[in-house]
Structure 1
Amino acid sequence: MPQLNPNPWFFIMIMTWLSFSLLIQPKLLTFLSTNPPSSKVPTTSSTTPWTWPWT
């Protein structure tokens, strides 16, 4: 069964992982976030309970 032979696939996996972690990931992390987190406190709106007419 040739799929059990890790010889070509292991090298491809390692090279892909290295290229992602060393080349692509640092370039992606330099971009600024389009929606940065804000330090505002979330406000809760006060709601009134629904009054059912039959109770």
Structure 2
Amino acid sequence: MPQLNPNPWFFIMLLSWLTFSLIIQPKLLSFTPTNPPSNKTTTHTKTTPWTWPWT
């Protein structure tokens, strides 16, 4: 059963995890969001169901 042999896939998983956590993640976290959240309260309007003309 080749799944139980950790030699090829464990090194690839470890290398990809380290690449993501040390290189890609700091680059992604440095971006500022384009639409920051606001403190404005939203108004919810009550909608009425539309009456179908053929019923």
Q: Same fold (TM over 0.5)?
A: yes
How far off its partner does 1:48 sit? 7.3
Q: When the two structures are superposed, what TM-score results if normalisation uses the length of structure 2?
A: 0.72
List alignment gaps of at least 5 residues for structure 1: 51-55
Give the 5 Å matches for 1:24-39: 24-39=24-39
Q: Distance in 2 between matches of 1:48 and 1:12?
A: 54
Instruction: Detail structure 1 runs of 4+ shifted over 4 Å in the superposition.
Output: none
Give the 5 Å matches for 1:40-51: 40-45=40-45, 47=46
List alignment gaps of at least 5 residues for structure 2: 50-55
How far off its partner does 1:4 sit? 1.7
How far off its partner does 1:43 sit? 1.3
Paired residue secondary structure (2:34): coil
Q: When the two structures are superposed, what TM-score results if normalisation uses the length of structure 1?
A: 0.72
